[in-house]
Chains A and B, each alone.
Chain A
């Protein structure tokens, strides 16, 4: 407990909360988002852009049915990456590398398509399931390496996952400017367009639906893993205290590596939903920072797999709004990035009020109502 004496009769008392009410946490999240919108609006107005138009556009995204479907389409990769991060953060593994793992997922799923189209491997109906499996494995392997290094040699995972993002991005750049470029693509750095049976639009016509079903299935799986399995329990113990986990006889290397694999795997699935859900082919820099947005989403959803759904839809909507703002209204798309950052910062500040109880005492030390 810390006490600051402002004036002789006013004392600010800060004490640590042991439990915080759920209402308060919802309230502080909503308040943080509103403050962020306010600050961003003020900044835009000062810079001479019309903040009201920008905001009405953002609201329009969530109430127009066609735009909402588009929004969910963008929310799916973010959601998948966040699902993975949920596992990683739970075991106190600071995976900043969701972006790179997304790229590995895109690489693997495009690879399967190319193997099928160029070399006639696998029957048609087998392509999409293969893509799902390989993108999970590729993304997972990309994260299992830093998590193995952390478990075995205590290599700082923040730095390795961050650096591996760039390696993944340049690797995909190389493929798409080099051997994977579409020979009929007039020299543009694009892969061949995916055939229909390799796209998530296969069933229901719109990738949003199949993607959502896949996502809800995976979210259920993650929820069950975390809640009902031994692995979920071990992940939680590892996150709370490495020493406790060690005394309890947990195989740390195995648990941390496996947790990392799962975490990267879901991000890899996110990569799949980008190439075969949103774009329909691979192009360089296909992920617009979804892996970083997923970090915000994960923290906002307080490590609860279900809360990821509304949160990632919210951020997916911001991406969609950003695109339309830039194209139709001549308001910079960077507004959205700024907004994301501000929401992020204010929520972090809000975290403080959740963690500490601040009371102002005046006069004879009576707490103010």
Chain B
């Protein structure tokens, strides 16, 4: 097993088919890495395949899966994983992440359901993650999802998550927006939650916007601008765990590229501020010794 996954840095953007022209027009250097759902690009030919090749030659890419259904009662789709491995190698992808979730029972439901937080489920899911890592011959990252119900819970979300990461020995894709959404929906403190994250396992971070259903129930839609409390959690993450590569996700109501890039610039701004703060506190410590 290689530890070389997720050699990315800086501020990234979730790449969608509709961005094919607009990102090229925006010029190079505005985005440090891109992320795609492999399912949406793996079997393409023609114009989109050419466009994709052009981008993967120019940018670092990571694959963020939608359909693996790691927590599903049905067997893993081994054929898909073999195909994914080839696709990732062809485009020199820097890593593969998926959701700690399930999106199918015996048939696909095309969205994310919460795995019951139980001991039995920890062993089951961790075993499957190991199986995926063996097939892909690399570490993968699991994302904390937003969830609106926790059926059959025997432990907390964080206990479940950390137990899975440890037993599977895999990385974490930390979604700060989902922490915020869940903290509202399940009534916990986002920063306290964040402080328990095993920081050494974070491979990269997601930020996104969401939709307000009610004061105590909000829905993660990736369809709106990032809001202040989410930026606050991101800053706290950098302060606690260092400047982790961070990607902006936007799936619906996609604004013009220049507006999206402003949010990517904001990520970069927070990263630079965190680096500067670390540098000045290190200097301060040196002065104190001197």
* A complexed with B: no
